[in-house]
Amino acid sequence: MPDYTRNELNEALKDCAREPVHRPGAIQPNGCLLSTDLAIDRLFQVSANLEDILGISPADALAGDAIQLLGPQLVHRLRSRAVDEIVSPAIGEVVRLPVGSVEHRFSVRHYRSGQRAVVELELQQAEPDDGQLPSRSAWLQPVSTAGSPEQVLESLVRIVRQLSGFDRVMVYRFDEDDHGSVVAESRAPEADSYLGHHFPASDIPAQVRHLYSINPVRSIPDATAESVPLVPEVDPDDPAPLDLSPGNLRAVSPIHQSYLQNMGVGASLSIAIHDEDRLWGLLACHGLVPRPLSPSMLDDVSVLVQVAASRLMLLQANSEARYRQRIRQSRELMLIRDTGIIPTLDDLIRWYGANWLALFEASGLVLLNGDRRFCFGATPAADKLDRLTAYFACQQGQQPWYTHSLANSELAGWYEQGDPCGLLAVRLPVTRNRIGWLLFFRPGQKQTRTWAGRPEDNAERDPQGKLFLTPRHSFSAWTETVEDMSEPWLEVERLAALDLGEDLALVLFSREIDQLNTSLIDANRRLQKLAQTDTLTGLPNRRLLEDRVELSLARALRHNQSMALLFLDLDGFKKINDTLGHRAGDKMLQGVAERLQNLVRHSDAVARLGGDEFVILLDEIEAPGDAGILADKVLQVFSPPFELEGEMLTVSFSMGIAVYPAHGDSFRKLMHHADVAMYQAKSEGRNTYRFYSDLK
């Protein structure tokens, strides 16, 4: 039994999270560090190993200036480059410097920390024999053309191990709870396998994950080496410790050094894999003994990871696009069903229930409308639905509500063994006095997780009795069986549920209006606005856009003219919602709508489909090139930034263009072709447009 309380452990966890890993006051011994003023003239601190690296003692170096230590040529080159800019995220410029009577090669890195310029000189080993390595195109090609995410990752780890010689190369992916798992691996026979193993979030704490957004590369050539302190320990003119985040030489945290040694790792290289601004995972390389890398090799591995990340995210985007298309088709079927009668909730569930369960990989669904409920598939018992109904009637929080483990949520008191474990809930604002909910349920799946050692917090006491965390001593496989969890709800599924909820709200509202007396004029106005316009921007919605396109097609056919649809998708809109909140995102969408409306003619139309998707209808154009002219104007008019929450944010679009009659003779065909062209523009770099004809 542990000799500490839960409160003591929580305090130890907080202390760990506050560890200033970016300001260690020391470096790794494979190079040296200089801290100067911003003009790179006066020296304030140097690393204690300066004499070993450059042949001059710290005291003698501090008595002189930067030119005396580095020479006028290098200092001039550093001064000519802005100290706030780093040329490469992996390595710096390679130079030759005399050390005694012998010239040595160094990788020079130059960055800013507060009012100091930091110069790192990393001693370089001999370059590998290029004739023994495959050409860059030979190792890029398998990664850049892989047809699935699994193939991308398998090619990445295999080629990186072949190039670098590391004993074990892994791809480590983070989940929503910041736990990690090894999803791809290539290793030497003598290296232990961690493929499929899970690691707790505390192994890579929040402040360390944040460092990868500043510097995506973390190289530890010798995990056994002692760190080298700075001399003097404190800057005589500025007591603030140096922020070494952008550098390569930042010393290894003692906890992490013990962690690597307990794991049997002598050298480590980690390179971040980002999905836009989110840390998706890491390429993690381990050597069983210390292993320095040449600057060109480090650069090659970094490039390979960037190519793999781009391919991986493109494949993921394509998969999500196909899913969104399936959702869009389901929504269209619900909205355009030409029966002449507004469907009842029973009709909706009967017609579309099976399709919705398949789309959301759910086992059951419940549609709540006031005190009425409509069920399809495997759903909880009536008494439990009563409790769920009462709970969601009081919920006004962020949409949607979801969990993949009801047993560990605020609804744990409702849950019993055998009940569905996953729940996705979307609010349906039907009227001012009635709130509806769409609930999707997922069954629990018996999951076996293999952890690299037991995922528990190890703690010890210092001589003063204060508790502190220690790294695990064993990484032997430990298997855990989990039964009260479903498959997690993916972000694309949560967004799709919101879109479906909007359509259901429209149908429910229409049904209620249809049952009211025709004299309720105000209710009819709300119905018309909800049916034809987007409530956030006031733009036409998809239904009204379709009507206008059909009229435009009829005129174009009658007068033997052309018309065009421009499909616009905001680039990086998710980042605004994540960083500034949905209120700022809504304000951005309203500003976007206003600028787009000011661009078009009175006979044209701008519509919002939902989320960050807009469509422009160009009516009666003389030639397809007119659509390109408007697309150029869109790119130009959005070059000035928006001011949101005190920040200036630039907006860009990826656009696809379909022209009648070349690309279709119906609304659906033109929309589909414009959508395909838009995804091509997004995959080619964003902030641009493509005609569907360009894809043929």
Residue in 109, 94, 117, 114 with CA at minimum distance from that of residue 40? 117
CA angle 550, 322, 343 (to 5 degrees): 55
* 661 domain residue, yes or no: yes
**CATH code of the domain covering residue 296:** 3.30.450.40
Mean pLDDT over the full length of the chain: 82
411-463 tens-digit pLDDT: 888 888 778 888 998 888 655 556 778 899 998 887 666 655 555 555 555 55
**CATH code of the domain covering residue 380:** 3.30.450.270
Query: What SS3 string covers 221-239?
Result: CCCCCCCEEEECCCCCCCC
CA angle 681, 682, 686 (to 5 degrees): 90
Q: What is the pLDDT of residue 118?
A: 94
Structural domains of the chain, count: 4
Tokens 């985007």 correspond to what residue? 317
Single-letter amino acid code for the residue at 362: A
Sequence-distant (≥ 6) Cβ neighbours of residue 347 within 8 angstroms: none
| Strands of 276-421, DSSP E | 278-287, 364-369, 372-377, 401-403
143 and 255 fall within a common domain: yes
Q: Which residue has the higher pLDDT, 617 or 339?
A: 617
286 and 399 fall within a common domain: no
* 477 domain residue, yes or no: no
266 and 134 fall within a common domain: yes
* 101 domain residue, yes or no: yes
240-258 tens-digit pLDDT: 999 999 999 999 988 888 8
String of b and e for 575-594 (b: at least 16 CB within 10 Å)? ebeeebeeebbebbbebbbe
- Cα–Cα distance for residue pair 422/244, rounded to 1 Å: 43
536-571 tens-digit pLDDT: 888 888 888 888 889 999 998 888 889 999 999 988
572 and 687 fall within a common domain: yes
Note the residue count of the chain. Answer: 696
Q: Which of 95, 123, 151 is the last residue of a domain?
A: 123
Residue pair 450/477 in contact (Cβ under 8 Å)? The answer is yes
374 and 267 fall within a common domain: no
149 and 288 fall within a common domain: yes
**410 vs 392, 415, 441, 481, CA distance in Å?**
12, 10, 16, 23
- 233: pLDDT strictly greater than 90: yes
Can you give the residue range of the structural domain that contains 511?
337-446+485-515
* 472 domain residue, yes or no: no
176 and 266 fall within a common domain: yes
281 and 418 fall within a common domain: no
With bands split at pLDDT 50, 70 and 90, how would you rate the model's confidence at 318?
A: confident
* 471 domain residue, yes or no: no
87 and 171 fall within a common domain: no
599-615 tens-digit pLDDT: 999 889 999 988 889 99
Q: Which of 99, 123, 147 is the last residue of a domain?
A: 123
Residue 418: exposed, middle, or buried by beta-carbon count in 10 A (0-12, 13-18, 19+)?
exposed
Please give the model's pTM, rounded to 2 decimal places.
0.67
Q: What is the pLDDT of residue 171?
A: 95
153-165 tens-digit pLDDT: 999 999 999 999 9
Comparing 361-365, 429-433, 673-677, the range with the smallest average pLDDT is 429-433
Q: Which of 100, 123, 146 is the last residue of a domain?
A: 123
- 37: pLDDT strictly greater than 70: yes
Q: Per-residue pLDDT averaged across 22-40, rounded?
A: 90
* 323 domain residue, yes or no: no
268-312 tens-digit pLDDT: 999 999 988 789 999 999 999 999 888 778 888 999 999 999 999
543 and 685 fall within a common domain: yes
628 and 651 fall within a common domain: yes
DSSP conformation letters of 12-38: HHHHHHT--TT--SEE-TTEEEEEE-T
* 172 domain residue, yes or no: yes
* 300 domain residue, yes or no: yes
229 and 286 fall within a common domain: yes
